[in-house]
Structure 1
């Protein structure tokens, strides 16, 4: 076994010069059962701290030196933000005692007593929550254990790109001299994400980042060990009302960023259950942005990170949650305690890094066009207006998501899942599957995406660039398992593969959608106009209008290009022309026409793009018609309403009204209702106990006749029918409203159940 060292031969941290782009960083993790001798050699190397295993030389802020924890606690406690908050709380208390009959000396003593007391509380909050780099032995122990876990679960390796690593290390070396931080912002797909970044930073010689983690992980023994390798525990939920705790978190973050400690937090805030990126969470991001705006730190560097799995171990529990079943409370310890987890063979894990960029430079670019901001030096002469601050913060969050998408790789399992769920056929032969996956790989590259290395043998010594499409597909099918992809061969001319569990398989398709979102929306807009007119030649203006409608409707689901709607539509139509889906017309032409070539190939490419989004259209249409159940004046608990919406969606699917079972996804329905709230269609009422009810806005309430039946007219009806026109229904149904008498009948039943449940 060769000891692959990312350091140079002298042991110093220099950029790697290996010509190979990809490295499997768990290749040295041998199981005891497989090779006891090599396992013991490897273990002895870790115990001795040989080469990079000693973690003695790395780029970034020094860790594991005497009194490191006491130093950070002291700096945080004396941070101006926290000191001001302590002073404010003391003043509030003294104001309450203003009526007490006390001498000046007594008041001074009381003030000192309260100051000491609140300072003691603040110090306790700091010590309980911050990362503590005291014992390197714990770090080395956990690295070895985590490496064994990764090697067992992801038997085909944990892969990183050597060129990206070289750039990250070079930047870390530069920032070390400036005492500036790298802020790693990964997407969040699995509990394994908590371990991945620390594991990689140890392996490639970077200073371990402070990792923002939920306090639910702060368990006896485990919590202590996690803090020793960088975990920073914060409260879950809303703590905006805790004035002191807010000050502690802000002061600690600004302290470590000012000193040049690296930082990591998950931009989505929680694990994505659907496979696609979630909208950004702005809590920690706001503190980081504000530390630049208020001049507390000189600069910090943002590094978006993509983690892609052939298969996530939580896939089954994700599906269970999204189908509306009661969520089982999970913990990292319980997750790792399962013997089943360690025996799984889930393919590979790929981690990719975007090039770091200066947050200060990005903020200057964002604000340079604002005429009201006279000087772009920090701190600003005056605080940003609230709407400007919100705009900048949102732009920052979505810039990070876009960068994660840029560096993401498409895994073989995602290729298989995407093809199976985007074909109009019931199943595909191996030849068909291979041909279409080869086509999809080409499309991914044309869209600027990247494919995970398609290897057939991941044992040491194999050629990492050897490709055999059929073998790659069979490997992906083994990882997915026969519970997701069915195989039918008895009595058939050819073995056929089909989506056995489309709902769970959609997780893998959703990891590809971002590459084709513009083409998908454009194709569905064209499909909608063809359905309306019955003609393959449609108005470009009508297509433009439909694209705008769909883009707005699905804005919370996807990250769109920042080039503006008009540019995006023109680029999309040009792309569809190049792919032979549309007939080329003069740029000034006001028509869009389906090409003969696409009709000859039976709309195969056109269908691919439409099938990517049709489940979402079904989901949003189902959510829109569920609003009828709130008529005429119902106000019901939000969770009850969401549950009934999912029950309706399941009923519509099993009765054949909607075509895609993915539309019953509970989170998708919630996203739709959130959009309806933003549009003023649905009103959310929150009481003092933070319990929420929902009701329809007055102008959106549908009318009913004397018998209590809904009248098919009004704003809500027209809105739901506008969505229905883009659904996956045969063109012969174009004249039939989406809301049939049967649908209205079901909605009345839902309304009655809501009324009864409310009582």
Structure 2
């Protein structure tokens, strides 16, 4: 590719001997990571190249020259040739002022002067062109295990540093230098577009666009240029919504304006992060050692798609919430891969001594669990989110509101989503993208505490003592971790679909479409998290072993079952971003033994794999992580637990009936017709595997005898979903037993939870999520939304014969023994209080 003049004089042009000497010294120490690696492919063939960097400085010029040489690009330190007019001594310029060691008015030229010279030359030669290549240079981006602790203090930031500090940064962090080449811009094309404008205005516009480009790249790599925390707090307190809330609070609580203002200021200080680049770099250095100690590897998938979206967008990270490790892990991964860590919404319970200030400087801002009754706190918090939004700060929060104790995605709490949409309507400077993230573990630090909480034990409050006590986790090994970036949700596209008139809506109004749009966004985020699931060996072991009463299975059967699951997920992909372990069934079993999830019992007729005691209970968490991937297959299997033959049309009819409840519980991605198509494809898969046979007309499905391998595989697969239908039947049975107009939705939830707990005790169901109150609440809500039940004027639940039809369909799935057991355990309705006896008539005088 020819990018400079091909004359002999041009070929002989070389940098001065002084620059070559300094460059050799610097090259012996500096190690450059280029992005993209094949930067030469970006250039326009045959057009002279002029590089544009952000700041002048000898080190930046030499780093640019080294990067160009390593990438096979034209030199930046030779005169720019190929254009007529005044010849420049170098083929680069910066968008900032040149700082001279000694004050020299001749060298303090306007930043636009080099650009103006090139524009003048092109105006004199209409047939010539120059391509401008913006190049961003960062010294000290990513720490590694060999990095010195002191080097974190001299990492790249927004401050323009002096020569001595730059020299220290090169000495300490020169081996972690990042050079990013951007797509070139044809200067001739710009001049043609702006030919009607004055020359000075065109030059200023090009310079402004270049400066904005460098700010955008720097913001994506090291984070936005945040002012001091006190400045952000002052902006929050002085904002109009907060001042109005402050005045209202002063009147309501009989406070002076000064007292109310101080309370608002204290709230803002309690909330606000105190982001520090050196602290973030220090934490990254520490966490690198921490992950290597407790994990066998951290795998990240689909990150390249995020990297392509992040520049120019306001990115809101919305991961699933499984562990306290989630936000540390995600921030560390982003930082080490060249994207600034987000500001993270953390519960105020984590604002502990020592830990709180560290998290705050790492980008955490704290919020109370509930602040609906505190109008001033709500106004301050909303304004703080808006201020971050206006400053271009990426955010991270968990739409579930808290950590999942069951391994399933929780029903979303939409408060932060609503604040984000309002901030966008108020400050829509950049497009917003929500980035769902799935985080999959093979062992959880909090596993035992989750089991205790689901069993009724109170949640242990976070404390400094508890934090110190948890240091013992460093002695354990937690397997591998997968972080999958799901399909992003673009806010503008969602608004255009849900509310086409949103652009005409004022930021402070409450339009009728707002609540619907927030709910739709929350559901889409959860669906996309599930569509980016990672299926690890422990997930597959859990789905298989927990289907047996004693959590045990013969090795030969377990191998067959694992092969069935892997084939089902591979042949019928749930989503393009789902990742599946590449281990064979035999390797999966060996790995589960290594991780101490299973125990092998030797036997002459064949070894047995089992998971004992609490290990089996803990495995239910990892089964629930991927339960949605098996929903269609498990539902079909449930239909054949008590039936050997069933019409294909009957399976489809029941699928349409049950799908809304499964979709709400598992955040499945299909509409009703899409689920039917999935059911049909899964049936065909089972036929190919020999699990089903078809009659001559292909209308009736037949499974093998109950003692056969095919029936065993179906029963094992069905078990993962069977408990959901048992919960559904509990709710229906309790409601029918009490009758209409007798209990409220909240009372039904409590009665269902108690019934499930008792059933679990009597039948030794080692699945704490079986009596999770939130799951019953979601099912009852779906019954209400589909008008199967409704609330009367007194707040009690009413229903008609449609509920009895639903109960009849349960016979297809649940055995008579299970149904009768649930009906027996369902609590009897309390007898209605007898009406008070009428008062006795007054005694009459006999004389009367």
TM bucket (normalised to shorter chain) is: 0.7 to 0.9
Q: CA deviation at 1:322?
A: 1.7
Indicate the residue corresponding to 1:738 in structure 2: 819
Closer/same/farther in 2, CA of residues 324 and 723 from structure 1, 3 Å limit:
farther
Distance 1:74 1:659, change over 3 A: closer
Q: Specify the alignment match of 1:710 in structure 2.
A: none
Aligned residue for 2:455?
323
Alpha-carbon distance between aligned partners in 2 of 1:658 and 1:721, rounded to the nearest angstrom: 25
Whole-angstrom distance in 1 between the partners of 2:607 and 2:347: 47
1:50-449 mapped onto 2 (5 Å cutoff)? 50-51=172-173, 59-60=219-220, 67-86=227-246, 89=249, 114=257, 116-133=258-275, 135-154=276-295, 156-161=296-301, 164-172=302-310, 174-175=311-312, 180-237=313-370, 239-294=371-426, 296-330=428-462, 334-335=466-467, 337-354=469-486, 356-368=488-500, 373=501, 377=503, 379=505, 385-386=511-512, 388-422=513-547, 427-446=552-571, 447-448=573-574
Match of 1:618 among 721, 726, 736: 726
How far apart, CA to CA, are the structure 2 residues paired with 1:300 and 1:480?
A: 44
Structure possessing the higher relative contact order (Cα contacts under 8 Å, 6 or more residues apart)? 1
Partner residue, 2:630:
516
The reply on whether 1:475 has 2:582 as its aligned counterpart is: no
Q: Distance in 2 between matches of 1:397 and 1:64?
A: 27
CA offset digits 1:494-517 (Å, max 9, x no partner): 220134344332211111222222
Cα distance per residue 1:603-626 (max 9 Å; x no partner): 355335422210211223234434
Describe the shift of the 1:354–1:638 C-alpha distance in structure 2 as closer, same or farther (beyond 3 A): closer
The equivalent residue for 2:612 is 500
- Give the Å deviation of 1:412: 1.2
Residues 680 and 697 of structure 1 are in contact (CA less than 8 Å); yes or no, is this contact kept in structure 2? no
SS in 1 for 2:444: coil
Which secondary structure state, in structure 1, belongs to the residue aligned with residue 345 of structure 2?
Answer: strand
Following superposition, the deviation at residue 468 of structure 1 comes to 6.0
Residues 722 and 359 (structure 1), Cα distance of their counterparts in 2 relative to 1, 3 Å cut: same
Work out the CA distance in 2 between the residues paired with 1:66 and 1:385.
33
Partners of 2:750 and 2:510 lie apart in 1 by 41
| TM-score for both structures, normalised by structure 2 | 0.66
- Tell which deviates more after alignment, 265-274 or 420-429: 420-429
Tell me the SS of whatever aligns to 1:199: helix
Q: In the TM superposition, what is the alpha-carbon distance from 1:288 to its structure 2 partner?
A: 1.1
User: 2:345, 2:364 within 8 Å by CA — same for their partners in 1?
Assistant: yes
Q: Deviations over 1:529-575 (max 9, x none)?
A: xx5xx6614261x434422332233343111224x213321331233
Task: Return the alpha-carbon distance in structure 2 between the equivalents of residues 599 and 576 of structure 1.
Answer: 21
Q: CA deviation at 1:215?
A: 0.7
Is the alpha carbon distance of 1:612 and 1:469 closer, same or farther for their aligned partners in structure 2, counting shifts above 3 Å?
Answer: closer
- How far the C-alpha of 1:650 sits from its partner, in A, is 4.4
Q: Secondary structure at the match of 2:334?
A: helix
Superposition deviation, residue 43 in structure 1: 5.2
CA distance in 2, matches of 1:720, 1:230: 51
Tell me which residue corresponds to 2:42: none
1:156-213 CA distance string (max 9 Å, x none): 022223xx334433433x32xxxx4211111000111131122222222222211001
Using the alignment, how far apart are the partners of 2:220 and 2:682 within structure 1?
44
Inter-partner Cα distance in structure 2 for 1:211 and 1:53: 30
Check conservation: 1:13, 1:58, Cα contact below 8 A. no
Q: Deviations over 1:334-389 (max 9, x none)?
A: 25632431111110111122354431233223334xxxx4xx53546995743x32
SS at match of 1:407: coil
Q: Which runs of 5+ in 2 are unaligned?
A: 1-28, 40-141, 156-171, 179-216, 832-848
CA distance in 2 between counterparts of 1:749 and 1:488 reads: 45
Distance 1:17 1:593 in 2: 56
How many residue pairs end up in the alignment? Answer: 642
- 1:320 aligns to what SS in structure 2? helix
**Secondary structure class of the residue paired with 1:132:** coil
State the distance in 2 between where 1:527 and 1:234 align: 49
**Shift of residue 275 of structure 1?**
1.1
Could you tell me how far 1:131 is from its partner in structure 2?
A: 1.0
Aligned partners of 1:29 and 1:66: how far apart in 2?
A: 26
**1:572 corresponds to which of 679, 700, 705:** 679
Note if contact 1:614-1:660 (Cα within 8 Å) is conserved in structure 2.
Answer: no
Q: Is the 8 A contact 2:143 2:281 kept in 1?
A: no
Q: Residues 308 and 721 of structure 1: is their aligned pair in 2 closer, same or farther, counting only changes over 3 Å?
A: same
Q: Is the CA contact (8 Å cut-off) linking 2:479 and 2:595 kept in structure 1?
A: yes
Identify if the C-alpha distance between structure 1 residues 277 and 429 changes in structure 2 by more than 3 Å, giving closer, same or farther.
Answer: same
Q: 1: distance between equivalents of 2:769 and 2:233?
A: 49
Shift of the 250–48 alpha-carbon distance from structure 1 to 2, 3 Å rule, reads closer
* RMSD value, Cα: 4.4
Q: Once the two structures are superposed, what CA deviation does each residue of 1:679-731 show, in whole Å capped at 9, x if it has no partner?
A: 7888999xxxxxxxx9963668xxxxxxxxxxxxx87766555445422x3xx
Cα distance in 1 between the residues matched to 2:487 and 2:728: 36
Counterpart check, 1:552 vs 2:684: no
* Aligned position for 1:488: 601
- Separation in 1 of the partners of 2:297 and 2:762? 44
Equivalent residues of 2:414, 2:518 under 8 A apart:
yes
Matched, 1:607 2:715: yes
Unaligned segments of structure 1, at least 5 residues = 1-7, 19-26, 31-37, 98-109, 455-464, 686-693, 701-713, 753-759
Deviates more, 1:412-421 or 1:65-74: 65-74
Aligned-partner Cα distance in 1 for 2:239–2:545: 56
Question: Equivalent of 1:726, from 801, 806, 813?
Answer: 813
Shift of 1:236: 0.7
Inter-partner Cα distance in structure 2 for 1:48 and 1:293: 38
Say whether 1:697 aligns with 2:797.
yes
**Secondary structure in 1 matching 2:484:** strand
- Cα deviation 1:290-342 (Å, max 9, x = unaligned): 23345554421211111110111111211222222333334587256324311
The whole-number CA distance in structure 2 between the counterparts of 1:336 and 1:683 is 50
Task: Give me the whole-angstrom Cα distance separating, in 1, the residues matched to 2:762 and 2:558.
Answer: 30
TM normalised by structure 1 equals: 0.73
Distance in 2, matches of 1:625 and 1:55, equals: 66
Instruction: Provide the rounded CA distance (Å) in 2 between the counterparts of 1:122 and 1:430.
Output: 64
Q: Tell me how far 1:676 sits from its aligned partner.
A: 5.7
Distance in structure 1 (CA, Å) of the matches to 2:522 and 2:579: 26
Alignment of 1:586-605 (within 5 A): 591-594=699-702, 601-605=709-713
